[in-house]
Amino acid sequence: MAQPRLKTFPQIRRALLFYQITSVITGIGLLLLVAEMVLKYTPLHVELFAGGSGGFLHFATAIPGPGCTPTSMLTPWVGGCEIVSARGDGINLSLAILIAHGWFYVVYLFACFRMWSLMRWRFGRFLLLAGGGVIPLLSFIMEVFVARDVKAYLAERETNAAAKRAAKAQQTTTTDSIQETAP
């Protein structure tokens, strides 16, 4: 397997920082999205709104569509149950969370791709990284492991490269001194 070049290490460090930031933001967005879906698709049927007649933050009731039963609402993709968004008179924060997470997931995928391509990992690692934006808590777990692995890898490679340069310089110095003492 190919290894990253030493000259790309500054790019790798910047890509790692970008990946760490996007993974945390994506993970928080995904947790908010899961909470929003629980509020909307469980028997609570509420969505979060900001502003309007309900005050700064308030919940509005979402409307179960025709054919919804208590069991079909838990699995809306199976039973044909559709929950119609609430009609609040403020900003629908539930919808905003959904949209923001979707768009930021694209940024997160770019950060994953950048990290994956610079580190020259196998494709399975990219799929695992990408899964962090759709599997709750995985982005936080992957961020810790990726940061630890990349930092350790870079430090080890730089230490080895410095040792090789020192050995080569020592060998050159020894060769030069031998040549100076020769008749």
Q: Tens of pLDDT along 51-107?
A: 888 788 878 787 776 666 666 555 555 555 666 666 777 888 888 999 999 999 999
pTM of this structure:
0.80
For residue 25, pLDDT beyond 90: yes
Spatial CB neighbours of 96, under 8 Å, sequence gap ≥ 6:
none
For the segment 131-137, the average pLDDT, to the nearest whole number, is: 94
Write down the pLDDT at residue 41: 78
Identify the pLDDT of residue 76: 52
Q: What is the C-alpha separation between 60 and 54, in angstroms, rounded?
A: 9
Q: Residue 146 gets which letter from DSSP? A: H
Query: Which secondary-structure segment (H or E) carries 141?
Result: helix 138-181
Sign of CA dihedral 28, 34, 35, 40: positive
- Name the phi and psi angles at 60, rounded to 5: -120, 145
Predicted local distance difference test score (pLDDT) of residue 43: 76
Pairing label, strands 91-92, 63-64: unpaired
Task: Return mean pLDDT, the chain.
Answer: 86
Question: Which band of pLDDT confidence, cut at 50, 70 and 90, is reported for residue 13?
Answer: very high
For tokens 């309007």, name the residue: 52
Give pLDDT, residue 169.
Answer: 83
User: H helices of 42-137, where?
Assistant: 70-74, 76-79, 93-119, 123-131
C-alpha to C-alpha distance for 108 and 8, rounded to whole angstroms: 21
What's the pLDDT score for residue 73?
52
Mean pLDDT of 6-35: 96
Give the pLDDT of residue 170: 83
Query: Would the pLDDT of 172 be above 80?
Result: no
Question: What pLDDT shows up at residue 67?
Answer: 64
